[in-house]
């Protein structure tokens, strides 16, 4: 049973700033920001970010369970979160995700969109730094965990960058893409490092790989049967192009899209859990049963691959039908 240390908030500015910053490394951010980029900014940028995010997060999560470095002891630190406390500490996957997402967005857009280089670099640095500092403030990581996570992510970005275009081209054009996009992540999830006790890392990893798999299949389908990626016009983002009409359209696309994504997640979650509950004879509310490998992996993978597919295929079709393109 989790024990929560009592604390008194003396500085509400830092408290809410870092609680908000911590949320930038969690599902609520991924499920809103990454689709927003796909629906409103640029498909190619979104594809690169999702691929980098999936690879970086998988390596980070697996590294935790191989290294098995404990999180900071409480006391002396005060922990403001409890959900991830069962996970190991090194590396900080919040730091890895923040570094990967902010700098992959910066690298992918800096040469093709009209904004100052210094502004983009500063935004990436501020975003990743806030998330990194939030892990220290909330008592979830040591300085070494955070530095390690950011450095690993930076090295992976440097290694992946030369292959970005090649990977992107293969994912869009290879006839084997849909099969490999499903099989490879599933094999990785089922062969995740085993721990002596339950940790959310396997479930979170399955969620991330599932979302990436569904999105990748969606990218391939769109390129094959909808609009070829290399012939479509990109929305050229620039400060001078932002008008009230553009903002309204972007918000409308986002609102419609997020409703579809959340509805998909809820429907698939209920349906898949119901089927697995029938197959393995457990009730949907049985948390212990849902943590078993044969339940957790298919439940999370099918649910979130459906979310990724919905965001990349169904939502754009709905946008077109509603005249929001």
Which residues are part of the catalytic machinery? 94, 141
Distance, in Å, from the CA atom of 310 to the CA atom of 34, rounded to the nearest integer, reads 13
Provide the H-helix boundaries in 41-142.
Answer: 43-67, 93-109, 117-137
Residue whose tokens read 């909808």: 226
Q: Angle CA(79)–CA(127)–CA(252) in degrees, nearest 5? A: 105
C-alpha 301, offset from chain centre: 14
**256, 315 contact by CB (below 8 A):** yes
Tokens in use for 304?
Answer: 């979130």
Distance, in Å, from the CA atom of 57 to the CA atom of 100, rounded to the nearest integer, reads 9
Distance, in Å, from the CA atom of 24 to the CA atom of 28, rounded to the nearest integer, reads 8
Alpha carbons within 13 angstroms on the beta-carbon side of residue 277 total 14
**108, 48 contact by CB (below 8 A):** yes
Distance, in Å, from the CA atom of 214 to the CA atom of 267, rounded to the nearest integer, reads 16
Distance, in Å, from the CA atom of 39 to the CA atom of 46, rounded to the nearest integer, reads 9
Distance, in Å, from the CA atom of 290 to the CA atom of 173, rounded to the nearest integer, reads 37
């Amino acid at each position: 049973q989790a024990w929560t240390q009592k604390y008194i908030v003396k500085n509400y500015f830092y408290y809410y700033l870092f609680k908000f910053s911590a949320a930038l490394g969690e599902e609520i951010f991924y499920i809103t920001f990454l689709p927003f980029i796909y629906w409103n900014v640029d498909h190619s940028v979104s594809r690169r970010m999702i691929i980098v995010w999936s690879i970086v997060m998988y390596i980070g999560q697996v590294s935790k369970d191989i290294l098995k470095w404990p999180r900071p002891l409480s006391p002396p630190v005060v922990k403001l979160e409890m959900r991830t406390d069962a996970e190991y500490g090194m590396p900080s996957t919040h730091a890895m995700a923040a570094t990967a997402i902010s700098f992959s967005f910066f690298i992918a857009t800096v040469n093709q969109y009209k904004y100052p280089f210094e502004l983009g670099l500063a935004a990436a640095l501020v975003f990743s730094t806030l998330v990194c500092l939030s892990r220290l403030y909330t008592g979830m990581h040591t300085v070494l965990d955070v530095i390690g996570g950011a450095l690993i992510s930076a090295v992976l970005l440097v290694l992946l960058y030369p292959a970005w275009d090649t990977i992107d081209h293969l994912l869009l054009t290879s006839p084997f893409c849909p099969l490999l996009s499903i099989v490879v992540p599933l094999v990785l999830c089922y062969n995740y490092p085993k721990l002596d006790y339950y940790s959310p890392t396997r479930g979170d990893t399955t969620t991330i790989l599932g979302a990436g798999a569904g999105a990748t299949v969606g990218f391939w389908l769109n390129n094959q049967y909808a609009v070829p990626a290399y012939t479509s016009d990109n929305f050229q983002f620039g400060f001078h192009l932002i008008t009230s009409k553009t903002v309204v359209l972007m918000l409308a696309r986002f609102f419609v899209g997020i409703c579809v994504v959340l509805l998909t997640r809820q429907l698939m979650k209920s349906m898949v859990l119901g089927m697995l509950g029938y197959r393995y004879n457990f009730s949907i509310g049985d948390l212990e049963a849902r943590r078993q490998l044969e339940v957790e992996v298919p439940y999370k993978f099918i649910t979130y691959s459906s979310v990724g597919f919905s965001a990349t295929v169904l939502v754009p079709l709905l946008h077109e039908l509603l005249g929001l393109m």
